[in-house]
Amino acid sequence: MDTFLYSLVLSNQVSNKTATIFEIQLVGLVFGSCCLFWDFKSEYKEIYLLDEKKEL
C-alpha cells in the first residue's frame, strides 16, 4: 500500500499536478478507516455468531 502511495507522489511530481501530499494522505486515511470499519464489522459478526452457538 505504501509503494502505491509513493508511486502516486512520484507521478504527481513528474506531471506537476495540483494534488498535494496532504490530499493523498487524506485519501489514504479515508481508505484506511473504511478498511478498519469493515474488519471491525466482520469480527463483530463472528463474535455474535459464536455467542449464539454457546446459547444452543
What pLDDT, in 10s, does the model give residues 1-47? 577 777 767 776 665 555 677 777 888 888 888 778 888 888 878 87
55 has pLDDT over 70: no
Distance CA 32, CA 21 (A): 16
Residue 42 is given by DSSP the state: H
Query: What's the pLDDT at 51?
Result: 78
Query: Between residues 17 and 48, which one has the greater pLDDT?
Result: 48
Pull the grid cell for residue 14: 513528474
Domain containing 37: what range? 2-55
56 has pLDDT over 80: no
Query: What's the pLDDT at 33?
Result: 85
- Collapse the DSSP code of 34 into the 3-class scheme (helix H, G, I; strand E, B; otherwise coil) and give the result: helix
Query: What's the pLDDT at 17?
Result: 55
Domain count, the chain: 1
